[in-house]
């Protein structure tokens, strides 16, 4: 049993405790007590002095495989040849399409990723994981269609959801994709660790045939699995829904898919999926370039929301207003740090502060702790500092005279703990990856 003392504790239950300590035993919080009640043997007490303890942070959408795509350079001849042909294919497919077009941007990302060899991809993935944990993230929702990342993420000392991404351009490919992934997922469920959970990522409305939507929606309801999807995040997709075609068709062609047509035109994204009986409380919708009325309509279906401000600005050319998201999804959304810039930050606390919400920190921090924990249905084990929950927490050291609000100025924690085990100390990883 160990006792961790701090000047401040932000519990994520909305209250701020001053001069309290958390007691941890066998990886769980077993008590939260005033300093005056601490009577443990000195060797079992860790006094962080003027510091803040928070619950561990939760990133609701990560794609760590893309972390280093802007820096990694193909080395061998085969990779360089692949890069050459991919660039030619990109220019040919998107001839005349603006550089800032959503579909072209994604084609560029996929092109840079495709030419990397396996080691580059694995190292890129690990780099993203490391930087996230150093920034205080103790639970992630990772999206990938590649199974090679399962072994890495399954061994992590943090909680994780692995959402396997699917595409389909026809009824036949839908059946094949469903059959193959179902078998793979059911095998992985037997081999996953206690920190790992599995969900399905439906690429998007326009990237998944209606048949596959129906198959996985029924399957996930039956097995109580979460579904994630990119939800109307670009003008390209909105035009596809309205007209039946758009530049999104070029992206699908670049990916080797046939043209997909909507089953009916002139439907809003909510109407499109509602007619397929897809939207429910088990669905996590990312982005949604919507106005307030449409966001409220989405919220009424029970779907949860993933707010991705950096990604939306960089890739989708539009960012939803944070205040609007709060009004439409009160206490029912979380944040994603996903970004494709060279100097990206993995800090959820820094991201939350940049939103200029005007919320006091004890309220703001809920959107990177307990709110996403509830969305991932993990609130019984993480997301707040409470008795009986896993000891996933961060420690931020303060300067003399500073109070808990100062962590916004220095959002990288001094120490990170997962289930009571020290994962990071003073910027250094304390486990091997």
Residues 6+ apart with CB under 8 A from 389: 28, 29, 380, 381, 382, 383
pLDDT in tens, 279-320: 999 999 998 777 788 889 999 999 999 999 999 999 999 888
Question: What pLDDT does 311 receive?
Answer: 95
What's the predicted TM-score (pTM) here?
Answer: 0.96
Give the mean pLDDT of 105-112: 93
Instruction: Among 9-23, 283-297, 301-315, 322-336, name the one with the lowest average pLDDT.
Output: 283-297
The pLDDT of residue 407 is above 90: yes
DSSP state of 228: E
- Secondary-structure breakdown of the chain: helix, strand, coil percentages, each rounded to the nearest 5: 40, 25, 35
Question: What pLDDT does 302 receive?
Answer: 96
Dmax of the chain from CA atoms?
72
Question: What pLDDT does 307 receive?
Answer: 96
Give the mean pLDDT of 149-156: 96
Question: What pLDDT does 80 receive?
Answer: 67
Structurally, at CATH architecture level, domain 140-346 sits in Alpha-Beta Barrel (3.20)
| CA-based nearest residue to 59, from 154, 127, 121, 131 | 131
pLDDT in tens, 74-106: 667 666 677 777 778 898 999 999 999 999 999
> Which residue spans within 336-414 are E strands per DSSP?
393-397
Helix or strand (DSSP H, E) at 192: none
Q: Residue 427 and residue 433: Cα distance in Å, rounded?
A: 15
Q: Residue 144 and residue 147: Cα distance in Å, rounded?
A: 8
Question: What pLDDT does 342 receive?
Answer: 86
Give the mean pLDDT of 118-134: 96
Give the mean pLDDT of 176-191: 96
Compare 393 and 87 and report the one with higher pLDDT.
393
Question: What pLDDT does 78 receive?
Answer: 65
Question: What pLDDT does 83 receive?
Answer: 72
118-130 core/surface letters (b: 16 or more CB in 10 A; e: else): eebbbebbbbbbb
The pLDDT of residue 129 is above 80: yes
pLDDT in tens, 220-273: 999 999 999 998 889 999 999 999 999 999 999 999 999 999 999 999 999 999
Quote the mean pLDDT of the chain.
94
Q: Is 292 buried (19+), middle (13-18) or exposed (0-12) by CB count in 10 A?
A: middle
Q: Residue 138 and residue 392: Cα distance in Å, rounded?
A: 7
Check: CATH 2.30.40.10 for 2-56+384-429?
yes
Domain extent listing, the chain: 2-56+384-429, 140-346
pLDDT in tens, 28-71: 999 999 999 999 898 899 999 999 999 999 999 999 999 999 88
The pLDDT of residue 353 is above 90: yes
Question: What pLDDT does 294 receive?
Answer: 84
């Amino acid at each position: 049993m160990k006792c961790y003392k701090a000047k401040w504790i932000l519990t994520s239950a909305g209250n701020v405790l001053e001069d309290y300590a958390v007691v941890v035993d066998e990886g769980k919080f077993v008590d939260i007590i005033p300093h005056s009640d601490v009577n443990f043997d000195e060797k079992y007490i860790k006094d962080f002095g003027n510091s803040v303890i928070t619950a561990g942070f939760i990133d609701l959408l990560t794609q760590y495989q893309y972390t280093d795509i802007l820096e990694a350079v193909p080395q061998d001849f085969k990779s360089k040849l692949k890069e050459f042909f991919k660039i030619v294919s990109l220019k040919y497919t998107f001839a005349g399409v603006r550089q800032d077009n959503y579909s072209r941007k994604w084609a560029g990302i996929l092109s840079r990723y495709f030419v990397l060899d396996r080691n580059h991809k694995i190292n890129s993935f690990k780099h993203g994981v490391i930087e996230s944990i150093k920034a205080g993230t103790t639970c992630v929702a990772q999206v990938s269609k590649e199974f090679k990342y399962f072994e890495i993420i399954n061994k992590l000392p943090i909680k994780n959801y692995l959402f396997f991404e699917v595409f389909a351009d026809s009824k036949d490919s839908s059946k094949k994709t469903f059959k193959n992934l179902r078998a793979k997922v059911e095998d992985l469920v037997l081999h996953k660790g206690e920190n790992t959970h599995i969900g399905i990522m439906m690429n998007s409305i326009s990237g998944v045939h209606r048949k596959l939507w129906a198959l996985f929606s029924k399957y996930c309801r039956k097995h109580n699995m979460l579904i994630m999807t990119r939800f109307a995040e670009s003008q390209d997709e909105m035009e596809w829904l309205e007209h039946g075609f758009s530049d999104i068709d070029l992206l699908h062609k670049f990916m080797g898919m046939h043209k997909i047509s909507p089953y009916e035109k002139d439907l809003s994204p909510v109407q499109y999926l509602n007619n397929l009986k897809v939207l429910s409380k088990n669905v996590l919708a990312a982005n949604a370039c919507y106005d307030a009325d449409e966001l409220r309509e989405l919220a009424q279906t029970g779907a949860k929301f993933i707010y991705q401000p950096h990604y939306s600005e960089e890739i989708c050319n539009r960012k939803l207003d944070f205040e609007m998201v709060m009004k439409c999804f009160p206490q029912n959304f979380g944040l994603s740090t996903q970004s494709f810039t060279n100097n990206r930050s993995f800090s959820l606390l820094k991201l939350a502060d940049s939103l200029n919400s005007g919320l006091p920190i004890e309220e703001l921090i809920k959107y990177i702790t307990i709110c996403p924990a509830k969305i991932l249905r993990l609130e019984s084990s993480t997301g707040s500092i409470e008795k009986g929950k896993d000891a996933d927490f961060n420690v931020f050291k303060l300067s003399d005279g500073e109070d808990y609000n100062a962590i916004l100025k220095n959002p990288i924690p001094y120490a990170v703990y997962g289930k009571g085990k020290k994962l990071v100390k003073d910027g250094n990883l304390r486990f091997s990856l």
